Every structure is written in structure tokens, then in C-alpha cells.
Amino acid sequence: MRRRDELDSRRAQRIRAANPEVFQRLPEIVYNNPFQTKEESKEDNARLCAVCHCEYAQGDVLKQLPCNHQFHKGCLMPWFDTRNTCPLCRVELRA
């Protein structure tokens, strides 16, 4: 049992919330793809938010991480309350 407590403690130390200033500095992108068709959107996972699994819609505000992955701004805010990594590739955001 002690070993498990030690592992949980180490895991908790590694998992940190993202610095709010870092989140604010991330580039914002307004999604705009006038050529997208329904068929294309079903085939292209790059047009899906990996956090909420919804398609991006015209006018959605996205945040772009340093690893170039993009997510809905509203989806990333709660994610970064408890983590400081990309939801997809787990690259750590540096302050």
C-alpha cells in the first residue's frame, strides 16, 4: 500500500495546472473553412476537437498550442485547470 501512495504522490507532483498567462498568450484562431463539405469533415480528424470530439464550425475560436495542435478555446480552459500538457501529444507547456 505504501508503494501505491508513493506513486500517487509522484504522479500528483508531475501533474500541474497550466499557468493562466501561458494560456492567454497562446494564439487564437477563428475557424474558417469555406470549402469544407460534410463528406470532407467526416473524413478529416484535423477538423475535430480532440477534447470534446465535436467538429469545428465556422467562427469557432480555437487555441493553437506550440505543438501546432488546435482545440476549442472553451475545451482547453478546463483541461489546463488540471494539466499543463497538450491533450493529444502530451507535450508540456512551458511557462
Q: Which domain holds residue 64?
A: 17-82
- Identify whether 88 is part of a domain: no
Q: What is the CATH number of the domain that holds 78?
A: 3.30.40.10
In this prediction, residue 94 carries a pLDDT of 78
- Identify whether 66 is part of a domain: yes
In this prediction, residue 54 carries a pLDDT of 94
- Identify whether 4 is part of a domain: no
- Identify whether 9 is part of a domain: no
Give, for all 95 residues of the chain, the pLDDT tens digit. Answer: 566 655 555 555 456 777 888 889 999 999 988 665 555 545 555 688 999 999 999 999 999 999 999 999 999 989 988 888 999 999 988 76
**What total of structural domains would you count in the chain?**
1
In this prediction, residue 17 carries a pLDDT of 77
The vertex-38 CA angle with 59 and 40, nearest 5°, equals: 95
In this prediction, residue 2 carries a pLDDT of 62
Which run of H or E residues covers position 29?
Answer: strand 28-30
Which run of H or E residues covers position 10?
Answer: helix 2-14
In this prediction, residue 11 carries a pLDDT of 54
